């Protein structure tokens, strides 16, 4: 469960950036401040690159 302070911080960061989807998702520092685990996202991306889906035989 996130604390009220965290909620306030998240709202403030979004408000400071005009709630702009593109601005927020393209700024790694903002994402880190918002608690997004960029290492995990990169790990998943690398995993998918290394293991593309093979064509299903079914």
Partner 1 sequence: MKSLLTQEELFNKLNFTHILIDSCIWLEYYEYTEAFEPLIKYLQAVHCDILTLPIIKFEVLRSQNLENYQRLNTIIDDYALNFTGYKDKTITEEALNIARIYKKNSNTSASFIDCYMISIILSLQKSPFILTENHKDFTSLLFDPIYIHPIPIQTKNGTLKIYTPCIYEFNKTKYAKELAKLSR
Q: Which of residues 3-32 bind partner 1 (CB under 8 A)?
A: 6-7, 10-11, 14-15, 18-22, 24-26, 30-31
User: Which phi and psi angles does 3 have, rounded to 5°?
Assistant: -80, 165
Residues 6+ apart with CB under 8 A from 10: 34, 35
Asked whether position 53 contacts partner 1 by CB under 8 A, the answer is: yes
**Size, binding site for partner 1 by CB under 8 A:** 34
Q: What are the residues binding partner 1 (CB under 8 A)?
A: 2, 6-7, 10-11, 14-15, 18-22, 24-26, 30-31, 34-37, 40-41, 44-45, 47-49, 51, 53-54, 56-58
């Amino acid at each position: 469960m996130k604390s009220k302070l965290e909620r306030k911080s998240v709202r403030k960061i979004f408000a400071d950036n005009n709630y702009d989807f593109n601005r927020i998702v393209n700024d790694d520092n903002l994402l880190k401040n918002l608690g997004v685990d960029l290492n995990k996202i990169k790990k998943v991306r690398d995993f998918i690159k290394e293991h593309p889906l093979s064509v299903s035989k079914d």
